[in-house]
Structure 1
Amino acid sequence: MTAVPAAGAEEAAGERGHCARQHTLRVPGAEHQEVSCLDELTTAGTVASGHTDPADWAGLTPAGLETPDGVPGIQIDGYFPDGSATNTNHGWMHDSQFVVRLPDRWNGGLVVAGSPGVREQYANDRAIADWVLARGYAFASTDKGNTGVAFHRDGRRPGAAIAEWNERVTQLTRAARTVVAQRYQRPPQRTLATGMSNGGYLVRWQLENRPGLYDGGVDWEGTLWRTEGPNLLTFLPPALRAYPVYAAGGAGAGQAHREMVAAGYPAGSEFLWPYHHRYYWDLTQRIYREELDPAFDGATEAGTPFCAPGTPACDADYDYASRPAEVHRAVDRIALTGRIGKPLITLHGTLDVLLPIGEGSDVYARMVRDAGRDGLFRYYRIEGGTHVDSLYDVFPDRLRPLTPCHRSAFAAMEDWIGRSEAPAAGHTVAMPGEGRDPLTECPLGHR
């Protein structure tokens, strides 16, 4: 992979040396900020110094992923004004927390990310921040304005909590660009958005709605919100109905398996279904349905865990298509269109059974094409990839980690916007061959 050349060694010497101008840095719009001069901005140092939270990124990367080091610089932690308090980091009990990292040796670029899932601002530190910081980028990340399994309590109407995610990424991007200019005495030459899962959704939304803030983006298995479907609320309920019947075996197992496959969970991914049933499908359906359709279960908050079909107001019986128009309007407030305004690379694992590829990125690729924006888009289907890379440690003979594929896609985006070298055409990237290290290699093919 080709690195973007550093802006110059002058950033690491003289008045532009270690943590220069740290006392002059002000994050526009921040209600509170704390500026720290660190000998190490990657997790090789921030774990010990307390400038990250390992619990926030637990489970997102394979255990054998290398941790880069040797990146001194400035870290700014803080928060923007917000009335919700789900984020407990630093004991602040305040949402809209952010982190901005400014390496001493800067390559002229800025990377902005929103957190995956309902995690906090440090969730991208191992999978994304470590690597881009080691390449010389400034890095900024946000908690999206609300966190945790009760994120849906934020906002005054259905869909408002998720809509805030987009606003907070825009807010942080604008603020981070200003802070970069304060630190290095010139604005960033390129600004890239990237993120995984919900963070990938944020990349798509930003490039559709705020393209002037960015030069490009890399979307790692982004969540698809589409008013007419598919979306989370269309493919999770069938899994909640069919999987227990399939798992029980017996006469109904074959039909239940067919229903799972029809809902988007590919044949060959069955070994991943028990884990996702236990930890993901039920919880995800209930909390996102509560955010977008709280009236479904009346006064009950986020449904009844693992309820049996036929139980009153059971999420296993949820039918998005038949829900009232106001539910569809709530989804429409956060929906994607495919009308991207800057280059975008999407990658998605073929064995993702939280956000099945056939119900997500395959559809989004068609949306981009139908919007006439396919010249700005590349889509790589990663054979053997699943939603979280920690599962590679459990099934190393059946899965591959997506982190190296994200790095290859990011490097391809650098060449695309920096050298006008278009990436390889979209295709399915085969499993690593003999002698390939899946922890470090994921070639995307020739242009």
Structure 2
Amino acid sequence: MHLRTVAVVSLLTAPFLAVPAAAARTGPADLRVPGAEYTVTANLPDLTTTGTRPTGHTDPADWAGLEAPGTKTPSGVPGVQIDGYFPDTSTTNTNHGWNHDSQFVIRLPDDWNGGLVVAGPPGLREQYANDRIISDQVLAKGYAYAATDKGNTGPEIYQDGERPGDAIREWHRRVTQLTVAAKKVADQHYGRAPRRTYAAGLSAGGYLVRWQLEHRPDLYTGGLDWNALTFTADGGLLATLPPALRAYPRFKEGDRSAHAAMLAAGYPEGSERQWDWHHKNQWDLLQRVIREELDPGYDGPVQAGTPLCPEGTGAGCDTDYDFASRPRAVHEAVKRIALTGDIRRPLISIQGDLDALTPPAAFGDVYHRMVADAGRARLHRYITVPGGAHTDGLVPLDRDRLRPMLGDFTAALSELEALTRRS
């Protein structure tokens, strides 16, 4: 990716991008992102993906597969975009040729409604991942928007940090850091701070929404999560993925008991047509990456195990992984990043009832109970969406059962607006 038609605004003396001199006429050069090491600012005729895709101010590869085919999104929102990064030592994010993590994007529409939406990406993606499903939607409503790459990206996030869990804990810090900075940028640009600030996210981004509302409620008016990943003391993905890795190959071969094992592990009946895709693309990869981040000793000097090792391989094979039997230090590492349910701001959670990555029985339902157990039930609205898969891009796998959830997300945002106006 390369940014085009931009004006450089650097907080260092040495420039990192070669920008044409004529581009200096674009963008308010006085805008500063507090704490940023480097920024590039541009005035754009359209901040949505309709406008940013041809100018290089987004990355279609980052949001590929997150929306249903044929999805139409809003367009025609002029304003200012700031791309940049905060100081960091890791280099997994190669956007713009920067080879620097903790990259972010901030979008400031000309016609501002006084609000700000902050997001982290799902999975191992980067800062543009939510551009179609969140940024386009909220920009069209007049919100300023900010997104971070979480501080590390790609399938080797476990190499960042010194202790198990450090890479994921950095996700928390980077969302907080960007929220603080984006509020100040909005104040600079519009002459007043945002009246309301929402955290929003899908999957791992939804996990970050929950964490922020539990730990930094002072920064937010409320939050909206979509099929959120939920790390708990019971292991989260580390407890739900290995049973699927063991049972699915037997199910594929016609073993009826394996189907029962999948359902017992929480995978919803009716999601079967998604299982082969998840087995090939997500279950194994995420198990190995998250396990290496939280339990690196399981496979000794090998990093992130052996892909798709068969059941019965034994020690070091993630298919045979059993979180409950792992040493105390592993459980302590998980507790470092686990949620508690103790949210302090209104939260709306939407959960697809056919989600085969973070199935409701093991994720959405569990967190809803955690919130109630923490005495915060009045702050949580939990919406189960019939036919919803983990991402809308999976709809073609089973058009008879699956339907997009993007409309439910935008409806939930309107509900959150109404709810927080009353509170």
TM-score range, shorter chain: over 0.9
User: What one-letter code is carried by the residue in structure 2 that aligns with 1:178?
Assistant: K
Q: Which residue of 1 aligns with 2:61?
A: 55
Residue aligning to 1:325:
328
Q: Verify: 1:307 aligned to 2:312, yes or no.
A: no
The residue type equivalent to 1:375 in the other structure is R
How much does 1:393 deviate? Answer: 3.2
Specify the SS of the correspondent of 1:23: coil
User: Is the CA contact (8 Å cut-off) linking 2:27 and 2:42 kept in structure 1?
Assistant: no
379-388 or 58-67: which moved more? 58-67
Equivalences for residues 40-439 of structure 1 within 5 A: 40-229=46-235, 231-249=236-254, 253-312=255-314, 313-420=316-423
Indicate the RMSD between aligned Cα atoms, in angstroms. Answer: 1.2
**What secondary structure is seen at the aligned counterpart in 1 of 2:155?**
coil
Q: Using structure 2 for the length normalisation, give the TM-score.
A: 0.93
TM-superposed CA distance for 1:394, in Å, is: 3.8
Aligned to 1:364, what secondary structure does the other structure show? helix
* Normalised TM-score (structure 1): 0.88
State the AA in 1 paired with 2:240: F
Q: Distance in 1 between matches of 2:141 and 2:26?
A: 20
| Alpha-carbon distance between aligned partners in 2 of 1:397 and 1:64, rounded to the nearest angstrom | 17
SS in 1 for 2:355: coil
Report how far residue 21 of structure 1 moved. 7.5
| Contact 1:42-1:68 at 8 Å conserved across structures | yes
- 1:20 Cα shift? 9.8
Instruction: Report how far residue 87 of structure 1 moved.
Output: 0.2
Distance change in 2, residues 1:139/1:264 (3 Å): same
3-state DSSP class of the match of 2:150? coil
Maintained 8 Å contact 1:38/1:72: yes
Cα offset, 1:395, TM superposition: 2.5
**CA distance in structure 2 between the partners assigned to 1:69 and 1:221 by the alignment:** 26
- For 1:99, the aligned partner's letter is V
CA-CA distance at 1:255 after TM superposition: 1.2
Aligned to 1:14: none
Instruction: Pick closer, same or farther for the CA change 1:399–1:320 going to 2, 3 Å.
Output: same
CA contact (8 A) 1:20 1:183 kept: no
In the TM superposition, residue 305 of structure 1 has moved relative to its aligned partner by: 0.6
1:300 partner SS: coil
For structure 2, the 5+ residue unaligned runs are: 1-24
* Contact 2:312-2:320 within 8 A present in 1 as well: yes
C-alpha contact 2:125 2:154 (8 A) present in aligned 1: yes
How many angstroms apart in 2 are the aligned matches of 1:330 and 1:163? Answer: 10
- Answer whether contact 2:371 2:380 (CA < 8 A) is retained: yes
Deviations 1:120-140 (A, max 9, x none): 000000000001001100000
SS of the residue 2:40 aligns to? strand
SS at match of 1:33: strand
* Distance across 1 between alignment mates of 2:38 and 2:326: 42
Aligned residue type for 1:415? A
CA drift of 1:270 comes to: 1.1
Aligned AA for 1:341? R
Flag as ranges the 4+ runs of structure 1 deviating above 4 A. none
SS at match of 1:359: coil
3-state SS of the aligned residue for 1:110? Answer: strand
| 1:28 aligned partner, one-letter code | P
Aligned equivalents of 1:255, 1:399: Cα separation in 2: 25
Is 310-319 or 158-167 further displaced after alignment?
Answer: 310-319
Between the aligned partners of 2:160 and 2:262, the Cα distance in structure 1 is 33
Q: CA deviation at 1:292?
A: 0.4
Q: Distance in 1 between matches of 2:119 and 2:249?
A: 36
